[in-house]
Structure 1
């Protein structure tokens, strides 16, 4: 199987990756940040983002806003664009500074209000990040993660989890609190042992462009044991651009590159994986219209 657009060699520096070959069946980008510009650039034009994605078979997006400004924008966008549903939360790296300023309670209140909107289907991304936040910020991250878990359960919405260098504590807190009925590990980054534990607990595992990196054999090994009924694909755009454009700007139209790589790892054909990730997304989030 090809990645549907191998034009990395000779590509003009700074130019966006080319459109890959369209997928045979429509799929969902399970987690993207189309409100976010990379490296100080301008916010991408949403209509063009949607047009490009649809042209290659990515006809639905889960837009995630994980600070207050992005969460507000996400709700507005999900209302006006039927291709988009929303997720809102306070990213774990946002929480310590909010707490230090005394603004965390007010931020929680606004996230809870926004999360009740019918076009918001996700509480997330929440979780733990031990890469960008040091030990001094972990206690408040833990408290915030527990608060978001409770919110997802109270509202009956899916939970999307950010887990960076924190697998053991993420799994422990989910067990202690009781995970919501629908729990998604976004941009899954664990090894095969973590993946097996998540699968046994019934969680969904969502894979981004990192699974295509040459150095990511352990991540592909983890993917290889995930049942089709629990797998999703995402961009986490504008970052985590798949090989051979690693380091460039990511966008939902590059989902076919990651999905074709995943199909190879899972030893299934591309249409089978398309159907699986689309069916899983519809089961998790409901219809887009």
Structure 2
């Protein structure tokens, strides 16, 4: 038994099994073994506590120590977009993506359109999004935008990506066919990133055939993720990205615990195992793909 295990067992003394599980879910995972070359293709620094220059530096310092040299922090509403742009200016390792999450699509008024267009012109903003369709929350939230509004606002984001020449970052939840149909009808931008890809092999093949990049999060490591692992195994290496979507989707065996960019090597290693390749080689390829897609500088 090491010292950390001894301290953990001491802390568990007198607690019920339920209380132990609850306590551990609040604890961040330990630092993984370093895996150089990685870029976190999608995270939410503000939701991870990164709302000051010092807090952002602390998060990316920890990530850099395990091989994650750059991160793309993503907005889901107009307030988050302002935080994302600020963070990208606070730290040279941070870049931003701005847009309205489909659940917030009804917020796209004239003022927000103008502000997002101004943000996208910023050199530190490297993508438009996350945008797309989310049918999961339409039946579970009174504030979620309806499907028709989501489609209209998605089309506006597609046009913005094409006009700006920047990648389009896609959010898709339980809307595979409609989302792909909207992209086909509107005409895809040159670079489309399927953030936190959640489809099966059939959807993955269609996305690959269209030239989209598929970004995999901690879900690919989950025990019940067989169809997702099949999708990850068939995606060509050049169209593959890896992300945390922090603070969500912490990889196995830390599922449910707080996620940050420093946890990315866990997911990259799971992805390498799925594909039967060296984690070290895959990390370098994944980082190169992200830098190419987003136009990031070499560190």
Question: What TM-score results when the alignment is normalised by the length of structure 1?
Answer: 0.90
| Stretches of structure 2 lacking an aligned partner (at least 5 in a row) | 1-7, 10-19
Cα displacement (A) at 1:84:
0.6
CA contact (8 A) 1:60 1:288 kept: no
CA distance in 2, matches of 1:106, 1:48: 33
CA distance in 2, matches of 1:192, 1:288: 33
CA contact (8 A) 1:89 1:111 kept: yes
CA distance in 1, matches of 2:288, 2:57: 25
What does residue 97 of structure 2 align with?
Answer: 87
What does residue 285 of structure 1 align with?
Answer: 294
CA distance in 2, matches of 1:34, 1:258: 18
Q: Structure 1 residue runs of 4+, over 3 Å off? A: 9-12, 41-44
Residues 197 and 42 of structure 1, relative CA distance in 2, 3 Å threshold: closer
Secondary structure of the 2:170 match is strand
Q: Does 1:266 align with 2:275?
A: yes
Q: Does 1:215 align with 2:224?
A: yes
User: Which of these residues, 14, 18, 21, is aligned with residue 33 of structure 2?
Assistant: 21
What does residue 161 of structure 1 align with?
Answer: 170
Secondary structure of the 1:184 match is strand
CA contact (8 A) 2:204 2:235 kept: yes
Cα displacement (A) at 1:136:
7.2
What does residue 197 of structure 2 align with?
Answer: 188
What does residue 30 of structure 1 align with?
Answer: 41
Larger radius of gyration: 2
CA distance in 1, matches of 2:84, 2:134: 22
Residues 56 and 205 of structure 1, relative CA distance in 2, 3 Å threshold: same
CA contact (8 A) 2:233 2:275 kept: yes
User: Which of these residues, 101, 110, 116, is aligned with residue 115 of structure 2?
Assistant: 110
CA distance in 2, matches of 1:18, 1:205: 27
What does residue 159 of structure 2 align with?
Answer: 150
CA distance in 1, matches of 2:240, 2:27: 31
CA distance in 2, matches of 1:251, 1:287: 20
Cα displacement (A) at 1:156:
0.2
Q: Which moved further from structure 2: 265-274 or 190-199?
A: 265-274
CA distance in 2, matches of 1:43, 1:123: 21
Secondary structure of the 2:47 match is coil
Secondary structure of the 2:46 match is coil
Cα displacement (A) at 1:43:
5.7
| Stretches of structure 1 lacking an aligned partner (at least 5 in a row) | 1-8
CA distance in 2, matches of 1:76, 1:207: 26
What does residue 54 of structure 1 align with?
Answer: 64
Secondary structure of the 2:69 match is strand
CA contact (8 A) 1:61 1:84 kept: yes
Superposed, 1:105-144 pairs within 5 Å as 105-134=110-139, 137-144=146-153
Question: What TM-score results when the alignment is normalised by the length of structure 2?
Answer: 0.87
Residues 255 and 136 of structure 1, relative CA distance in 2, 3 Å threshold: closer
CA distance in 2, matches of 1:140, 1:106: 17
What does residue 5 of structure 1 align with?
Answer: none
Q: Deviations over 1:86-122 (max 9, x none)?
A: 10001101113x2xxxx62221221111111011010
Secondary structure of the 1:187 match is coil
CA distance in 1, matches of 2:296, 2:204: 27
CA distance in 2, matches of 1:175, 1:186: 18
